Amino acid sequence: MSIASYIDHTILKQTTTTEDVTKVCKEALEYSFAAVCIPPIYVKEAVKQLLGSTVKVATVIGFPFGYTYTEAKLEEARIALGEGAHELDMVMNVTALKNKDYQQLEEEVKAILAISKPQEAALKVIIESGVLTDEEIVRCCEIYRQFDIDFLKTSTGYAEKGATIEAVQLIRAHLPSSIQIKASGGIRSYEFAKSLVDAGATRLGCSASVAIAKGENAGIGNY
C-alpha cells in the first residue's frame, strides 16, 4: 500500500489562509491522501473542494491544548459536523489526566461520541504523548479502550515532542485492534513515516505529505 494512503494532509498553523486550504485540498486529490486536516473555520470550504472524492475532511476540537470545557468541545464538534466534517481530531483534557481525574476524561469522550457516532464521523482522541510518561500513555489506553473511538492519536504537533516509534509501539501493545493509531508531530521524511507505520500507525498527520509521498526528506517542522 502506498504511504500516501496513510496520510492526513495537515495545515493547522495560526496563519492558515483560504489559499493554503485550496492548495492542501488539491494536493490531497493529486496524491490520494486519506484526508485533509484543517482548522474548523475552513471545514465548509474543504468539503466543497473535495466533494465527490474519497478524501475525507478532518478538523480539530479543543486544539491544541485540550483544557477547554467539555461543553465548548461539544459545540465545536456540532458546528464542524454540521458543516460536513467526516473526522474529528479531539485533544483530550491533558490537565485532567495529570490530576488523575479519569472520570472527567471518560465523561468527555462519552459526550463527544454521543454526537459523532450518529453522524458516522470518525473520532480521533489526541493524548499528546510527548508530554506524558509511559505510565500515563498506558493509562490513556486503558481509559479509551472502553469506548468506541476510531483512533488514538499521539500528538498535536505543538508540544515540544511529537510522534515517536516507541510511543506508537506502546500504544499498540495496550489497545484492541479495533482502535487504530494516528501518529503526528515531526514527521518530515519517508523513512520516519514508514517506521511509524511499521510500529503500528495506520494514519499519519503530516504537513510534509507531498515530500513524504515522493520518498523525500522535508527538513524541520512541527507536522
Catalytic position from the list 56, 73, 124, 153: 153
Q: Is 124 a catalytic residue?
A: no
Sign (positive or negative) of CA dihedral 174, 118, 64, 191: positive
Catalytic position from the list 8, 56, 73, 89: 89
Q: Is 153 a catalytic residue?
A: yes
Q: What DSSP designation does 92 have?
A: P
Give Dmax (Cα) for the chain: 45
Catalytic position from the list 182, 194, 198, 214: 182
Q: Is 44 a catalytic residue?
A: no
Name beta bridge partners: 9. Answer: 36, 206
Q: Which residues, at least 6 apart from 165, have a Cβ–Cβ distance to it below 8 Å?
A: 195, 196, 199
Residues annotated as part of the active site: 89, 153, 182
